[in-house]
Amino acid sequence: MFESLTELLNQNDIFTVATLLQYWDGLVTTVQLVFLSLVVGLVIAIPLAILQSLNNPFISKPIWLYVYVFRGTPLLIQLYIIYYGITYIDGIQESFWWHIFKDPFYPALIAFALNTAAYTTEIIRGSIAQTSRGEIEAAKAYGMSWWQMTRRIVLPSAFRRALPAYSNEVIFMLHASAIASVVTIVDLTGAAQNIYSRFYAPFEAFTFVALIYLCLTFLLVFIFRKLEARLLAHLRPRTH
């Protein structure tokens, strides 16, 4: 079985076992990078969104500024600034941190995580602000503290409402990760570029990688649809 597959692949120049392995490594890198960015981004975004909804100007202004800067500049520029900018910090190359920042993966992870955190903060803040007054008044009438109210009433419903918008952010992040290849990370796009430049076959190399991205997107859409069906069931109109 495996041998006949190898034989089939050897009939063309571009999609050999070796190049498919390159694509596979690229896929692993892309999934790692996007997944870690989203996790770190979410961990940053949730506290920031809660703090923002406190309406304390000393807290919300700096958060607003952070969100504004990261939403207001292209991700590619942020990546360049973090990737190349870090090397200009005096003494960094002799410090312990250089082991981390020498690798292009971590500067890219930082840029992507900060970027998606800014967008996610805005998504969650928006849906916290939409919590109906009646629910908050009811919680207060029960004598809940601010933290109890936030934990039991505000956040669960805010997360549910944020889900459709957040699924968009996840898919955008997957596609935005293609720019990781400009700082020498061999993600899916990087693998396609290497294969294209080795075989001078841009159409085959990039079409194949586009299909992989399509499959990944389809998987994400499917997961979020299932999640929404489960978590937003109470918002669907009754059918009987």
45 alpha-carbon distance from chain centroid = 12
CA–CA dist 41, 78 (Å, integer): 15
Q: How far is the CB of 166 from other proteins (least distance, A)?
A: 33
Using rule CB under 8 A, residue 146 touches other proteins: no
Q: How many helices (H) and strands (E) does the chain have?
A: 11, 0
Instruction: Return left, alpha or beta for 90; rule: phi > 0 is left, psi -120 to 50 is alpha, else beta.
Output: beta
Orientation of helix 57-72 relative to helix 17-52, angle to 10°: 150
User: What residues between 70 and 99 interact with other proteins by CB under 8 A?
Assistant: 84, 87-88, 93, 98
User: What residues between 190 and 229 interact with other proteins by CB under 8 A?
Assistant: 190, 193-194, 196-198, 200
Longest dimension (CA), the chain: 74
Q: Residue 95 or residue 132: which is nearer to other proteins going by CB?
A: 95
Q: Show Cβ contacts of residue 213 under 8 Å, excluding neighbours closer than 6 positions.
A: 174, 175, 178, 188
Q: How far is the CB of 86 from other proteins (least distance, A)?
A: 8
CA–CA dist 35, 229 (Å, integer): 23
Q: How far is the CB of 67 from other proteins (least distance, A)?
A: 29
Q: Residue 99 or residue 238: which is nearer to other proteins going by CB?
A: 99
Site string for other proteins, 92-131 (x = CB under 8 A): -x----x---x-x---------------------------
Segment contacting other proteins (CB under 8 A): 31-39, 63-71, 132-140, 188-196?
Answer: 188-196
Q: Residue 70 or residue 105: which is nearer to other proteins going by CB?
A: 105
